[in-house]
């Protein structure tokens, strides 16, 4: 019986340690120091920014599950974390965002790329654009900036998600860009 209680206790404790606390785990992240002569009040008004040594470390640090698209519209070595931010109160480890980037392997100019922004709190970008529906019935908003880039945003399981896709090597019509963005968005839906 004592053995069973020990196993259950270890499971519960490890579950709490693995991000179930709802807070950003900064133990393996590098905090960027704000530059310039900022007052305490100015510092409080900007988010704390963190860098991560790897994609896995970044995804483990955020207090939410991220389903990254596996099928991208170009060849890539995968996503990288650009940055993780702690908004509003810089030290409370709540109101977190993560920005991820994947680009075409063969291009040094990043002519083809996908940028994903995920917030675990309400942001306004999800309310603008043409209304479209994802495979699970989730309402999304679609924008096409020019013939080479567009974006889609939606809310899924409390996460505010925005996906931008750029392909400077070919021009897209609205339907082709929407098809590419819908494919990316549908792959990110929580199960």
Whether residue 123 is contained in a domain is answered as yes
Query: Does the residue 13 lie in any domain?
Result: no
> Contact 87/47 with Cβ under 8 angstroms?
yes
In a domain, 14, yes or no: no
Considering only residues 154 and 5, tell me which one the structure prediction assigns the higher pLDDT: 154
pLDDT at 17: 34
pLDDT above 90: residue 107? no
Determine, yes or no, domain membership for 98: yes
What's the mean pLDDT when you consider all of the chain?
84
Total count of domains within the chain: 1
Structure-block tokens of residue 176: 């082709």
| Top-confidence residue, 90 or 72 | 72
Q: Catalogue the E-assigned strands of 105-178.
A: 112-119, 130-133, 139-146, 149-156, 159-167
**Between residues 48 and 128, the one the model is more confident about:** 48
Range 5-28 average pLDDT: 53
Count CB neighbours of 121 within 10 A.
Answer: 13
The predicted model gives 10-36 an average pLDDT of 67
Structural contact between residues 112 and 145, judged by C-beta atoms closer than 8 angstroms: no
Q: Which of 3-17, 68-82, 128-142 shows the lowest mean pLDDT across its residues?
A: 3-17
Residue 3 located in a structural domain: no
Which range, 8-22, 52-66, 79-93, 108-122, has the best average confidence (pLDDT)? 52-66
Whether residue 139 lies inside any domain: the answer is yes
Q: Which domain holds residue 50?
A: 25-188
Which of 9-13, 16-20, 48-52 has the weakest average pLDDT?
9-13
- Indicate whether 15 pLDDT > 60: no
Domain membership flag for residue 12: no
């Amino acid at each position: 019986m004592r053995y069973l209680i020990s196993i259950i206790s270890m499971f519960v404790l490890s579950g709490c340690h693995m991000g179930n606390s709802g807070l950003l785990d900064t133990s393996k992240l590098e905090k960027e120091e704000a530059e310039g002569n900022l007052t305490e009040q100015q510092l409080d008004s900007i988010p704390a920014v963190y860098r991560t040594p790897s994609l896995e470390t970044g995804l483990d640090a955020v207090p939410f599950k991220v389903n990254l698209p596996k099928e991208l519209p170009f060849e890539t070595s995968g996503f990288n974390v650009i940055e993780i931010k702690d908004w509003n109160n810089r030290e409370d480890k709540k109101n977190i965002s993560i920005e991820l980037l994947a680009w075409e392997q063969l291009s040094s100019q990043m002519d083809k790329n996908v940028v994903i922004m995920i917030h675990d709190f309400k942001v306004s970008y999800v309310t603008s654009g043409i209304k479209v529906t994802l495979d699970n019935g989730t309402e999304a908003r679609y924008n096409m900036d020019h013939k080479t880039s567009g974006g889609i945003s939606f809310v899924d399981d409390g996460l505010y998600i925005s996906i931008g896709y750029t392909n400077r090597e070919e021009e897209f019509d609205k339907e082709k860009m929407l098809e590419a963005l819908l494919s990316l968005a549908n792959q990110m839906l929580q199960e």
